[in-house]
Structure 1
């Protein structure tokens, strides 16, 4: 211990000596101190500590390689309160990254910030900034990432934004912006764009129609693609109509009305004739084939569509007149349970397709009559009583995070337990990783895998820190992918916090795979065992190999493989390059350092000792630091150094 302390002191001494040889200009040091003095903060940043004599050693401050100038200031979530002081950070002329997100900064963004010639990343989201976005924004010619969302900004989106040709991501959602959206046709490199939840109106520019509808939602005045809201056809100055034209229009309208009335009568007569021919048979469809097994019977061929009622003959699923209070679909969660409005009968009438079977039960895709698509999971081996089951599902309904698939509704009876959740058409990570071999499907590149890893870490950290819930079944088939260009919304964990509802698994199903070696009863997972499973998931992304499965046919099957121990054996022989998936090596991309960094995080998570594993929030921080957090683009790139305090909310 004494030797370690001596080494630490020597290291600090060397850093201090080095800092004396190279120090940013006094003007930059003064600018940083003035900013901090002008902004009350809830935690000490230690900028005046004798152990950090150089500004380059200050918390959240990054200098260039020669320690000659400040190039980044990252202070997200450190409790900054008050007006954003002008005439301070704008003096850091070499600054390329500024992140002050998730604080409580008020007022307008100082104009001097928009004169920084080298700034390429500006992250000011989740504050209380007000005022307009000034046209001086045009001065940020090197800007690549602009995140001003979740503030109180007003006014119009400046047309000057169109001149920032280097922009990759623009997030202005959750403000009070008004007026129309500029064309932005000059932003040829734009990958992420979001102006939802504002007060914008007018037509969406054609250049931006390639982004998903979610990028424009919450603006009732917007119209055009990709929203399902056509723009009204504008017309020029109207001219008066002649008497003959008016008469012709009147005659035509009368003829059209008469034709519509005739068609309506014919349609009514035909429907009555069909109803008389069929009798009451259609009303008993869900009660047919009484000799079949109770519950959902999977379609013989996955992908074949049929009515969900045809997949079951269970009388238990059809509520009788006196059982409407207990035999019903129960919706959970806020915000109208995702906007769905259907009951059990609607669900039974839905067209259904078997998506697959897992340890928890069979999963179906159901398309309702109104066009909505949901996932229905028929649970098996549930031992929880109604009250325990309902309490657990109500708790899951309160979980709201973009990287956790929301549970929308449930059904509970003696013989049937169903869960209803959102449907994500992009499929699972397991299918993307292991379904591409030899099938012609494009393999996942490193960016896609890194984004999925970041989303999985964020989802787990939120589940642990915000709700105190354990996932219990982290695996690649339970990490669902999303289409679209938003990297923060690239994937979501599903089937979380359900393990305690099921019967114990046999001993043959307990070992290996994703489950921590210390788990004897998989119904009793822990935060630490979740982290172990997350580490195995990272290793699966990196190696392309399936971990051993506790149940045949789940998680891609394959021969049993203790993935963490195999990786250890390879790395021990200094063959680290042999660990990585050959598809990644073939695709290239120059991400070897990031892959090695994620490998180190994965091995720390998958350690045999539960006490030695990091907490989920620490795992999230380390994953966000990989590659400067660039895989998070609009929300995580700014966290690439030491900008997130320990214990911060994920």
Structure 2
């Protein structure tokens, strides 16, 4: 019973965190901010016993200074206390995306150091003051989409020198678009009530970014009606009265307006909301590659796919899916109707061309029902593109953590069991195919588990450790959040097992792992620690996600999977289960308990209650 028993032996838990003179102050500031919110249950880790750098939604630099506050998909509401946030002078990024905040825009211009601001998908409303963003000269990205803002687009955005991304779609803005002179990477004002001539500097932006505004004209939409027709009419009826002339001009005007309205409505049918031309990536950069890579040739790694070239890809309409740790991702809709995901990587410039192509070709040979296959890639020294099929059903993370409509159920137990079995099989296949790699996956987390229409899981972002720049990999990849790397700067073949364990606990609890929100070292509060503390102090049932249905007659199997997750998260590598053992245990799980549900554990003297476990039954060591 060796390792299986070892990871259940009760040991004293020690919590270490770095404190500083600013740490205590940050704690008080953030607790004050939390108290201004309502429905803040998602901020479960925000308490004075834990270093703020380990709190959910917070990001600290190496010196402990808080620079990012990312509270997304948490159903938060109440007041955003800007006056309190001002006390975090190094705050650079702020996101409250997909919550339930409402009312007018808070006084954000007090946060003059912000570079990125996400307020999309809330219930903000009313006019935005013309000076709402005055003085925010560091702001590069502003996302206000999917709210209920009214009135004109604030002109205070015009003088912001670094603004390159502006997302205002799906609001009630009216009036003319300010005369922006910015070189936007992203600009979208679709589905508002805007009118007038589109500024010349925006003429090269995809026309779908202006769709749904009946009063707009000018490139890239149809041309604004000129006075030529009016002049002809004036010559023809020069002897007519002023009244007759006015009437004719009016007829011409309204006829032109109806024509323009029809064109814009047709555009709405042809395009989708929030689309942007794929050439926002910089079409010339890829066509005129400095590496002379066959004039921008895509390299296909599979022979079972219809081919397309880079030009076709760059001409495709594309939707920005998001910006991750490696770079931006796009959904590109090709002319034949197929949808592809294009991931843009900029942190792979330390690997040579031949080595990169050889590794991509190796990834292309992989074939497993629980891996999302690589379709093609593009190489440039300072930038790479990886191309995959688009999976409509989204990621496991979105199903676990995104705000659901009222009455919409969460994932049930049979579906969650199916998902974790598929994840385990895909991970085992990677370890079999890459026996010489320490980290065959290296970045296993719920957002990198996609779900097809039957909820079969597909692993993605696997096998990238050999080609990602080492310094960047150690900052962002999941494997480098593991206990062994935090403690001793090392990873092992069991590091992917730790990631699997955290994923299991996330799947069972419905809580997002704080492990992945921290950068650098010194952080030690994680999901496994929280699960262990709850199990030791309360009924084990308190651990499980309240939104998980279909658990009747399956409590024993739930507890078995919880044990597997804990043994995979064992802090000491030598006591952690290896992958084969974890996969075998997962494969044994069923949706419903059997008559001898705990027989295998009872043989080891490990008897459980279906509702609770004692400390001796259920604990794991994090002896550091």
TM-score, normalising length: structure 2: 0.48
Higher-RCO chain (CA-CA 8 Å, sequence separation at least 6)? 2
TM-score, normalising length: structure 1: 0.46
